Amino acid sequence: MDKFIINGKKRLTGEVTINGAKNAAVAILPATLLVNGVCTIENLPNISDINIYCDILKTLGVKITQIGPNTIEVDTTKISCIDAPLDMTSKFRASYYLIGALLGRCHRAVVGMPGGCQLGARPIDQHAKAFEALGATVEIGQGKIQATTDKLIGNSIYFDIVSVGATINAILAAVLAEGVTVIENAAKEPHIVDVANFLITMGADIHGAGTDIIKITGVKELHGGSYSVVPDQIEAGTFMLAAVATRGDITIKNCITKHLDPLSAKIEEMGAHVEEINGDTLRVWCDERPKKVNIKTLPYPGFPTDLQSQMGVVLATAEGTSMITESIWESRFQYTAELNKMGAQINAQGKVAIFEGVEELYGAPVAASDLRAGAALIIAGIAANGITEISHLEYIDRGYEKIDEKFRALGADIKRITE
Ligand code: UD1
C-alpha cells in the first residue's frame, strides 16, 4: 500500500501544465468502438482508469498501440461482440459507456454494474430510458446490465434530470442509429462537447453539444482519424485551489480558461486573484486569508461537484463561516471528517456542510475516500503545519497523472512511500 508523506506549510509557486481530461478520455475510449478503422488519440492522461479501459477494450479484440507518452493508436477494425469482462467493468463508473458504444456497433452489450468512487447511489434509469427510446431492450440484474436490439432507430429523448453519463451514452447509441435523435435536457459539461467533437471528427453528424438540446442524425459508418483530448478542467481547478489554499502564486498552462469561469468567480469573491494570460493560461494568486463564500454544486456551468472537496480545504481556513451544498452526490462530504482530524471545524449533515474557518490546519494521518477527496487532502497537507500521511492513493491514481511530481515542482515537500 502506497502513502503520501507531506511536510507541510509550503507556499506553492511556479508553473504547472495540465493533462488531458479524464472524464472526456473515459468516454472517448469506448466511443472508438463505433469506428471501423484506426483512431490516434493524443493528450490522453496516463492514469489507472485509462489503463483499465484499454485492458477492457483489448478483451473485445481492439488493438491498442502506445505511440507516445500520452498518445495511443486504437484499431477497432476487428472486434468481438462478446460480453465485456464483468470483474473489470464493475470496477469503475465509466464502464457504462461501453453499453451505448457496443449497442451502436454490435446491437448488444453486457457490462458489469458500474463501480468507482463511493459517492452515493449510482442509478442508471436515465441511461436505460435513452437506450429503450432508441429501440433496445434493457435488463438490469445479477450485477450486470444487458441491452440488446435488432436495430437502433432515432427518437426523442427527454431526460428527467441532467446527467452527464446518460447524455454521453445517448449520443453514443444514436450516432449509428437510423434517423434523427433529439436529446432534451442534456448535460452541457465540456467533456460532453469533447466526446461529440471526437465523434464528429470520425464522421458523426451531431449538433448542439454544449447546449441542452442535442440533435444527432445517424450515419452508416464512422471512419478513423486523429483526435486530441481536451485539457482537464478539474485538474486545472485543483491547482487553482491549491494556489489559494497555500496563499501561493501558480500559473496554470494548457487549460481552457472559459471552462473555469464558475471557479474563477468564486476565487475572486474570496479575495484571491485570477488573471487570464490568454485563452489557455491562467495565473492564480492569494496574498491574504480568503474570505468566506457559499457554494452549491450544480451541473455545468454551475460549480462542479468534482471541485467541491478541494474548495472545502480552502474554506476550512477562510475567514468566517462558509456553507457548501452538494446537490449531485450525497456521500461527497466524507473528506470533511479527515479535515477535522487536521484541526478543521466542519459540520456536515446530509447535503450541507458548514465550515467555521480556522487560522491553520495541522498535519495528521488521513485517508482518501474518493478521487477528488484525495486531491483535497494533498492540498490540505501542503498547507498544514507539520506532517500529513495520506493513505488509499489508489483513488488518486485513478484520475491525476504524476500529481506528486507536479506539486513537488511547485515547491511542495511530498513523497510517495511503499509500505
Ligand atoms: C457526475 C457529475 C460530473 C462528475 C462525475 C464524477 C454532474 C451533472 N455530473 O457525472 O460532473 O464528473 O459525477 O464526480 O455534475 N442520475 C440518476 N439517474 C441516472 C443517472 C444519473 O438519477 O440514470 C443522478 C445521479 O444519481 C446524480 C446525478 O443524476 O445525482 C448526476 O449524475 P450523472 O451526471 O449521470 O453522473 P456522472 O456522469 O457520474
Would you place residue 119 in the very low, low, confident or very high pLDDT band (cuts 50, 70, 90)?
A: low
Residue 300 has what pLDDT? 96
User: What residues have CB less than 8 Å from 395, skipping those under 6 apart?
Assistant: 117, 368, 369, 370, 371, 373, 374
Nearest CA to ligand 1 atom 9: 164
Take atom 7 of ligand 1 and give the residue whose Cα is closest: 299
Residue 291: strand, helix, or coil = strand
Q: How far apart are CA 66 and CA 60, in angstroms?
A: 18
The neighbour count for residue 164, using CB atoms within 10 Å, is 19
Collapse the DSSP code of 298 into the 3-class scheme (helix H, G, I; strand E, B; otherwise coil) and give the result. Answer: coil
Number of Cβ within 10 Å of residue 281's Cβ equals 17
Confidence of residue 121 (pLDDT cuts 50, 70, 90): low
255 a catalytic residue: no
Residue 114 near residue 44 (C-beta atoms within 8 A): no
Q: Which atom of ligand 1 is nearest to the CA of 120?
A: 26
For the chain, percent helix, then strand, then coil, each to nearest 5?
A: 35, 30, 35
pLDDT band at 116 (very low <50, low <70, confident <90, very high): low
| pLDDT tier, 148 (very low <50, low <70, confident <90, very high otherwise) | very high
Concatenated DSSP letters for 28-74?
HHHHGGGBSSEEEEES---SHHHHHHHHHHHHTT-EEEEEETTEEEE
Parallel, antiparallel, or unpaired for β 294-296 and 321-325?
Answer: parallel
C-alpha cell at 329: 452526490
Residue 310 reports pLDDT greater than 70: yes
Q: How confident is the model at residue 419 (pLDDT cuts 50, 70, 90)?
A: confident
Q: How far apart are CA 269 and CA 57, in angstroms?
A: 45
For ligand 1, atom 22, name the residue with the nearest CA: 123
Catalytic hit among 39, 54, 106, 117: 117
pLDDT digits 0-9 by tens, 5-50? 999 999 999 999 999 999 999 999 999 999 999 999 999 999 999 9
Query: What are the backbone dihedrals phi and psi of residue 404, each rounded to the nearest 5 degrees, phi first?
Result: -70, -40
pLDDT recorded at residue 83? 87
